[in-house]
Amino acid sequence: MTDMMNNKHVRVVVRTRPTTRFASQAIEIIPDKNIVNIHVPKPEDAGFINNQQSDWSFKFDKLLHNVSQDAVYEECGTPIVRSLLDGYNGTLLAYGQTGAGKTFTMTGATENYRHRGMIPRAISQVFKEIQARPQYAYTIRISYLEIYNENMIDLLAPVGQSADMAVVEDKNGCYVKGLSQVIATNEEETLNLLFEGETARSVGDHALNRSSSRSHTVFTIHLESKSRVDSSDDVIFSKLNLVDLAGSERLAKTASSGKTLKEAMFINKSLTFLEQVIIALADKKRDHVPYRQSRLTNVLRDSLGGNCNTLMIANIWGEADHLEETISTLRFATRMSCVTNEPVVNVQYDPMTLVKKQEREIKELRQEL
Ligand code: ADP
Ligand code: MG
């Protein structure tokens, strides 16, 4: 059993983007204690923040400052993937303003092996773990969803064949009906699906003249496992969502009209709803959790406060120009760390299992007679 399973609150890890213009006057990072202290100059000096409070202190599960992709993966990816193989759902979310390093963290610089992000590393670990467990038969399916202005886009749909999609819930949790789930049998095939999806996304960005920082993407590894040695026919389902969220910056300040304003409203709304869901969960008002208010929260319904190990990486950009966004990200991250989840193994009973079990028992009883 890994630590993750006992760790029921959403783990929050803060990662800083490296910069030579670090605002050391305003931001103090204490990595050993996982603390970030921020001192905002008085409004008359700075004039950009109309908040009374000028000193902030934040503490998180882990603070990753000047840390390699490898170390980030070890902290954030390894336990969640191991737990995926044990049958638990997992969600890894990257949150933060545009430019703070969400895509670098999740996908990374794929042309440089050392800079690969969490998604390629998770894929690699999944196939390694599978090889180490020959007593199980695994099926892996991949889906890749983009949410843009409340529209769902299937990034793995065959060209021109996008189906209508809807979030539905059954006894195995919730899933997006109509979203392609492509079977992948090895690491290379899975990486190709990631690239295929990214290409589809950038083609869409170009055609629709939009920026990828304005949409959310959810890359999901669906795992199905069945024992080869056990006489039981139980099938275990689990999935891992790897989420690159839209930029959290408040675009409304600069967006004045037309499409940008519409985008800003949608992004702000979905992240606000994400926050509302989180606050409701933290308050234990589980009857009133407003999952259905946005696509994003609806898709992640069983990954937030549900049957899931959830980890959020809050990416921050510690330059003076971004102080306000940094505080806003760290406040969001603090609220997130109050959410609790209830991960359980998802065993689905094959309808034949009971019949076979009874037949076995009858046989045994006969032998005893
Ligand atoms: P976001 O997706 O949050 O908008 P990006 O991941 O695109 O931000 O990062 C913005 C830029 O900063 C990119 O050029 C990226 O390569 C670089 N960057 C971000 N984080 C790191 C890091 N930890 N190490 C090196 N470069 C980084
Ligand atoms: Mg990005």
**ipTM of the complex model:** 0.99
Atom of ligand 1 nearest to the CA of 105: 6
pLDDT in tens, 157-175: 998 777 789 999 887 778 8
- Prediction pTM value: 0.86
333 has pLDDT over 80: yes
226 has pLDDT over 50: yes
The Å distance, Cα 103 to ligand 2 centre, comes to: 4
Atom of ligand 1 nearest to the CA of 98: 4
Question: What are residue 222's DSSP bridge partners?
Answer: 141, 239
Query: Is 98 annotated as ligand-binding?
Result: yes
Dihedral angle sign, alpha carbons of residues 39, 244, 222, 340: positive
* Pocket lining: 90 vs ligand 1, CB cutoff 6 Å: no
| Token pair of 292 as six digits | 């259905």
Closest to 199 (Cα-Cα) out of 146, 151, 150: 146
5 has pLDDT over 50: no
- Classify the phi-psi angles of 305: left when phi > 0, otherwise alpha if psi is within -120 to 50, otherwise beta: left
Query: Is 100 annotated as ligand-binding?
Result: yes
* Pocket lining: 102 vs ligand 1, CB cutoff 6 Å: yes
Cα separation of 121 and 341, whole Å?
24
What is residue 245's predicted lDDT score, i.e. its pLDDT?
Answer: 95
Check: CB of residue 283 under 8 Å from CB of residue 314: no
* Pocket lining: 315 vs ligand 1, CB cutoff 6 Å: yes
| Token pair of 355 as six digits | 């019949």
Tokens 């019949």 found at: 355
The Å distance, Cα 64 to ligand 2 centre, comes to: 19
What is residue 189's predicted lDDT score, i.e. its pLDDT?
Answer: 98
Atom of ligand 1 nearest to the CA of 69: 23
Distance of CA 355 to the CA centre of its chain: 39
Residues 6+ apart with CB under 8 A from 96: 102, 245, 247, 248, 314, 315, 316, 317, 329
Enter the DSSP assignment of 185. Answer: -
Dihedral angle sign, alpha carbons of residues 318, 320, 322, 326: positive
What is residue 282's predicted lDDT score, i.e. its pLDDT?
Answer: 63
* Pocket lining: 290 vs ligand 1, CB cutoff 6 Å: no
Check: CB of residue 294 under 8 Å from CB of residue 274: yes
* Pocket lining: 213 vs ligand 1, CB cutoff 6 Å: yes
Cα separation of 114 and 91, whole Å?
23
Q: What proportion of the chain, given as a percentage, has pLDDT over 70?
A: 82
- Calculate the average pLDDT of the chain: 84
The amino acid that residue 319 corresponds to is E
What is residue 97's predicted lDDT score, i.e. its pLDDT?
Answer: 95
Question: What are residue 220's DSSP bridge partners?
Answer: 143, 241
